[in-house]
Amino acid sequence: MAAGQSACPTGRSVRIFEKSEGHVRPSLAIGITPPSLEILRTLGLDVELIQQGVFIDRVMVHGQTGLLGVCDFSKLEGAYRFVLSIPQHVVMKVLHQNLLKYPGASISYGTEVKALTQDASQVTVTVSGAQDDVVTCRHMVACDGSRGRIREMLHIRSHGGSYGCHFIMADIPDTRAWTGRRTCFSPQMARWSRFLSLET
Ligand SMILES: Cc1cc2nc3c(=O)[nH]c(=O)nc-3n(C[C@H](O)[C@H](O)[C@H](O)COP(=O)(O)OP(=O)(O)OC[C@H]3O[C@@H](n4cnc5c(N)ncnc54)[C@H](O)[C@@H]3O)c2cc1C
């Protein structure tokens, strides 16, 4: 959605196809990193998102023997010296509302890109959703994620792999008595080895 709307101020007509049914998604990240905040600034959305998130400028990692290390983002160069922790659905909502400001932009949820062909002048995209459709456009940007099939359709080689470990992420309110912002990595929590606070 961010890539789509970065083209909108130039007056281009943009259509976004998303196979999931809506923009309410579970979180896919601990936080928005400084380079991503720079991109969101170009869309005029950084301030709004920062107001709704929790900024993490220092991460302390504790092991069974005590403090293992500290990662201090406040020493970074640039405008954003923190990682912004914010639920994915909030980011998606802000991006969606911003997209609606542009008359030439639209997003179709529940619509999957099934096939595409291209020649020197245009791309022809077959989508299936509520109704199957064939759309032509000058340029197409595929942002279908690591499991997306579009690079396969385009015969682009990829060298993907697996880290061999699994993560479970959840957005939960922090009801403990701690104050301040924090991200906690805890080996004592065995399989549930990461806990992220979103509320102070
Ligand atoms: C445990 C974990 C923690 C992470 N933490 C961070 C973090 O703190 N900060 C950070 O920046 N990144 C983090 N990441 C990485 C981050 O989640 C990914 O980089 C990011 O989700 C990639 O975004 P994307 O839009 O490229 O792909 P995705 O988020 O995978 O989105 C792809 C979208 O395309 C849609 N789609 C797929 N195929 C089609 C199709 N054929 N037609 C239509 N729609 C389609 C999907 O439904 C989906 O909505 C983390 C990842 C993991 C696994």
**Among the atoms of ligand 1, which is closest to the Cα of residue 17?**
43
What does the pLDDT read at residue 27?
Answer: 81
Q: What is the pLDDT of residues 124-140, one digit of tens each?
A: 999 997 677 999 999 99
Residues 6+ apart with CB under 8 A from 195: 184, 185, 186, 189
The predicted model gives 80-109 an average pLDDT of 92
How confident is residue 195, by pLDDT bands cut at 50, 70 and 90? Answer: very low
Percentage of the chain lying above the pLDDT 90 cut: 52
Residues 6+ apart with CB under 8 A from 156: none
Tell me, using a 6 A CB cutoff, whether residue 29 lines ligand 1.
yes
For a pocket test of ligand 1, which of 28, 153, 169 has the largest count of ligand atoms closer than 8 A to its C-beta?
Answer: 28
Tell me, using a 6 A CB cutoff, whether residue 20 lines ligand 1.
yes
Question: What's the one-letter identity of residue 105?
Answer: A
Q: What is the pLDDT of residues 40-56, one digit of tens each?
A: 999 999 999 999 988 88
Strand pairing partners for 135? 125
Please list the alpha-helical segments (H only) found in the chain: 2-7, 34-42, 46-52, 88-99, 150-153
Tell me, using a 6 A CB cutoff, whether residue 33 lines ligand 1.
yes
Residues 6+ apart with CB under 8 A from 27: 87, 88, 89, 169, 170, 171
Tell me, using a 6 A CB cutoff, whether residue 95 lines ligand 1.
no
Number of CB atoms found within 10 A of residue 12's CB = 15
What does the pLDDT read at residue 197?
Answer: 47
Percentage of the chain lying above the pLDDT 70 cut: 86
Structure tokens at 34: 């400084």
Query: DSSP assignment of 162-189, as one string?
Result: --S-----------SS--S--EEE-GGG
CA distance 88 to 26: 6
User: Pairing between strand 83-85 and 54-56?
Assistant: antiparallel
What does the pLDDT read at residue 161?
Answer: 84
Tell me, using a 6 A CB cutoff, whether residue 112 lines ligand 1.
yes
pLDDT of 17 higher than 90: yes
Question: Minimal CA–CA distance to 93: which of 33, 185, 25?
Answer: 25
Ligand 1 centre to CA of 14 (Å) is 20
CB 43 within 8 A of CB 3: no
Q: What is the pLDDT of residues 58-74, one digit of tens each?
A: 888 777 788 888 889 99
What does the pLDDT read at residue 81?
Answer: 95
Across the chain, mean pLDDT equals: 85
- Map tokens 């890539």 to a residue: 3
Of 66-70, 100-104, 118-122, 151-155, give the lowest mean pLDDT range: 66-70
| CA-proximal residue: ligand 1, atom 4 (nearest) | 29
Structure tokens at 155: 């015969």
